[in-house]
């Protein structure tokens, strides 16, 4: 039976005529080696932000920039069509389809302006338009490059619940519909070009899959068919040991485990979102991250244990990567009256959850006299209000002395599955920070033992990351 490959291209990969030329060549090469190829595409870079910004402005009654948005969308997509679709009839048909979608955006913004608000459902329709334009453009360009292709909207077969802006797929129905829609095309040697990021409810209402949505789309399709491998094409040479803007000597990791990349993604690295990985892991599908602009580079391959040859990591390489989440704050609830009182933590985090905020790091003293956790800086005022409301009686009784937050801090995380087998890693990490005069405000280590996270003042971010990165590259 022919092997199946799902390839996803990010926004920068399809962001210009030159980038699209690279994508066509990559697809052409893949077709030589793989019998069945499915392509998932993001919107052209910058388009989704442009769409959502225009809707946000419209909700405030500002329509002055609408014509500029319309012109920008037209210019970006039409320039690529003019450069890469030589057949005039095909090109004009493509432009007409894109123009129709642009006018949909204009009409949506005008409706939003009349209502004075944009509902999550409306914003999903707005956000979906970038992928819907991109998929038509890419399919026409691929066909013009000599490969049979067909543009498809994933809303036809990725079925989700109605949680707009962060929808969850119904895997059973999605698998059935995906196979029914894609297999006939693959059997005919056609490359399906599919919208990333979007799905639809059972009633046909367009939804989006949230952060990392296009990667998730590729993983879902790979799971459904099932594919042999899923390749994520982006604008870097795979997963880096750290942010190269902080440490120019950052290197590409040739291999990394699913657990390690999940920790990296959770703690701020711009790699695959953890939910992207789950369908791939469950199906035992190979996953690779590649660079559209350097396709000969092997990129990073994801494996079950982070090293496909089964050998243990060298002691000096137990730390694989360092990442940082900036613009965080530490919230502390403290008071001697908390000692031995059940339910304080549960009530605290229920209050945080009521604001729709996720907590990336938690520490609690064994004396139970304080709870400390990190939150995004911009959520601090609403979270402090929610906590003060929940604990108002304890504050009056002085069981809780105060609830407060720091100024901006950064969560720095070192990741490496080898840490669980190696004694003294924490000591090396904290000795390295101490040697570079970095003060640690809080520490947390997950039960997976794949990562250690700690909080530093925001002014120490780069020093902390650079000094810990030395443990990897030295």
What 3-state DSSP class applies to 215?
helix
Statement: residue 33 has pLDDT above 60: yes
CB proximity list for 75: less than 8 A, separation 6 or greater: none
Round the average pLDDT of the chain to a whole number and report it: 91
Statement: residue 165 has pLDDT above 90: yes
Query: How confident is the model at residue 366, as a pLDDT?
Result: 55
Q: Kindly indicate the confidence band of residue 78, based on its pLDDT and cuts at 50, 70 and 90.
A: very high
Least confident of 77-86, 110-119, 420-429, 458-467: 420-429
Structural domain boundaries in the chain: 4-235
Statement: residue 120 has pLDDT above 60: yes
Query: How confident is the model at residue 419, as a pLDDT?
Result: 76
Statement: residue 365 has pLDDT above 70: no
Query: How confident is the model at residue 435, as a pLDDT?
Result: 96
Query: How confident is the model at residue 367, as a pLDDT?
Result: 55
Query: How confident is the model at residue 307, as a pLDDT?
Result: 53
Measured CA distances, 463 to 130, 274, 318 (Å): 39, 27, 21
CB proximity list for 403: less than 8 A, separation 6 or greater: 331, 332, 333, 334, 384, 387, 388, 391, 395
Statement: residue 456 has pLDDT above 90: yes
Measured CA distances, 341 to 336, 364, 367, 377 (Å): 10, 14, 11, 29
Statement: residue 1 has pLDDT above 90: no
Statement: residue 315 has pLDDT above 50: no
220: nearest Cα among 43, 10, 38: 38
Q: Kindly indicate the confidence band of residue 273, based on its pLDDT and cuts at 50, 70 and 90.
A: confident
Query: How confident is the model at residue 425, as a pLDDT?
Result: 83
Distance, CA of 424 to CA of 418 (rounded, Å): 12
**Which class in CATH covers the domain with range 4-235?**
alpha beta
Are 40 and 194 in contact, with CB atoms under 8 Å apart?
A: yes
Query: How confident is the model at residue 318, as a pLDDT?
Result: 77
Q: Kindly indicate the confidence band of residue 303, based on its pLDDT and cuts at 50, 70 and 90.
A: confident
What 3-state DSSP class applies to 282?
helix
Query: How confident is the model at residue 316, as a pLDDT?
Result: 47
Residue 270 burial by CB count (10 A; 0-12/13-18/19+): exposed, middle or buried? middle
Mean pLDDT of 375-380: 96
pTM value is 0.86
What are the pLDDT digits (tens) for 208-227? 998 779 999 999 999 999 99
More confident residue, 1 or 426: 426
Mean pLDDT of 169-175: 97
Are 242 and 19 in contact, with CB atoms under 8 Å apart?
A: no
Statement: residue 268 has pLDDT above 80: no
Query: How confident is the model at residue 276, as a pLDDT?
Result: 79
What are the pLDDT digits (tens) for 38-72? 999 999 999 999 999 999 999 999 999 899 999 99
Q: Give the pairing of strands 4-9 and 149-152.
A: unpaired
Query: How confident is the model at residue 317, as a pLDDT?
Result: 63
243-250 own/partner pairs: CB under 8 Å, 24+ apart: 243/269, 243/323, 243/324, 243/465, 246/324, 246/461, 246/462, 246/465, 246/466, 246/469, 247/465, 247/466, 247/469, 249/469, 249/473, 250/469
Two tokens, residue 5: 């490959």
Q: Give the pairing of strands 198-201 and 229-234.
A: unpaired
Query: How confident is the model at residue 26, as a pLDDT?
Result: 98
Statement: residue 247 has pLDDT above 90: yes
More confident residue, 262 or 52: 52
Query: How confident is the model at residue 446, as a pLDDT?
Result: 64
Statement: residue 312 has pLDDT above 60: no
Are 288 and 297 in contact, with CB atoms under 8 Å apart?
A: no
Query: How confident is the model at residue 368, as a pLDDT?
Result: 60
Statement: residue 306 has pLDDT above 70: no
Mean pLDDT of 392-419: 91
Measured CA distances, 2 to 35, 55, 175 (Å): 5, 45, 19
Two tokens, residue 414: 């070192």
- Residues linked to residue 198 through DSSP beta bridges, in sequence order: 208
Q: Find out whether the peptide bond into 408 is cis, omega within 30 degrees of 0.
A: no
What 3-state DSSP class applies to 413?
strand
């Amino acid at each position: 039976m022919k092997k199946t490959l799902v390839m996803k291209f990010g926004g920068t990969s399809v962001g210009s005529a030159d980038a699209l030329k690279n994508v066509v060549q990559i697809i052409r090469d893949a077709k030589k080696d793989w019998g069945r190829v499915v392509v998932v595409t993001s919107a052209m870079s910058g388009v989704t932000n442009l769409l959502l910004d225009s809707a946000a402005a419209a909700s405030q009654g500002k329509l002055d920039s609408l014509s500029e948005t319309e012109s920008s969308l037209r210019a970006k997509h039409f320039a690529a069509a003019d450069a890469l679709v030589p057949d005039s009839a095909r090109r004009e048909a493509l432009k007409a389809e894109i123009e129709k979608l642009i006018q949909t955006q204009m009409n949506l913004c005008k409706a939003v302006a009349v209502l004075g608000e944009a509902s999550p459902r409306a914003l999903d329709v707005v956000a979906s338009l970038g992928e819907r334009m991109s998929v038509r453009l890419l399919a026409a360009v691929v066909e013009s490059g000599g490969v049979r292709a067909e543009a498809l909207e994933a809303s036809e077969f990725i079925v989700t619940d109605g949680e707009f802006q962060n929808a969850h797929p119904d895997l059973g129905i999605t698998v059935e519909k995906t196979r029914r829609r894609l297999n006939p095309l693959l059997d005919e040697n056609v490359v399906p070009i599919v919208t990333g990021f979007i799905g639809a409810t059972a009633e046909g209402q367009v939804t989006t899959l949230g952060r990392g949505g296009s990667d998730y789309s590729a993983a879902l399709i790979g799971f459904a068919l099932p594919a042999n491998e899923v390749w994520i094409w982006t604008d870097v040479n795979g997963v880096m040991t750290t942010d190269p803007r902080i440490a120019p000597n950052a290197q590409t990791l040739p291999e990394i485990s699913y657990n390690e990349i999940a920790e990296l993604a959770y703690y701020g690295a711009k790699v695959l979102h953890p939910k992207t990985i789950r369908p791939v892991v469950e199906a035992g599908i190979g996953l690779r991250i590649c660079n559209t602009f350097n396709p000969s580079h092997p990129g990073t391959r994801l494996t079950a244990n982070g090293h496909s040859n089964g050998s243990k990591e060298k002691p000096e390489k137990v730390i694989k990567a360092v990442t940082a989440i900036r613009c965080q704050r530490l919230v502390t609830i403290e008071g001697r009256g908390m000692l031995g009182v059940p339910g304080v933590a549960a009530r605290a985090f229920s209050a945080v959850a009521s604001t729709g905020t996720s907590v990336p790091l938690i520490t609690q003293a064994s004396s139970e006299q304080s709870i400390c956790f990190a939150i995004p800086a911009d959520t601090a005022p609403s979270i402090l209000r929610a906590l003060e409301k929940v604990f108002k009686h304890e504050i009056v009784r002085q069981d809780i002395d105060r609830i407060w937050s720091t100024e901006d801090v950064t969560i720095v995380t070192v990741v490496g599955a080898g840490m669980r087998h190696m004694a003294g890693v924490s000591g090396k990490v904290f000795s390295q920070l101490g040697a570079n005069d970095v003060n640690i405000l809080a520490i947390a280590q997950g039960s997976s033992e794949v990562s250690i996270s700690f909080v530093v003042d925001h002014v120490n971010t780069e020093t902390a990351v650079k000094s810990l990165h030395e443990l990897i590259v030295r």
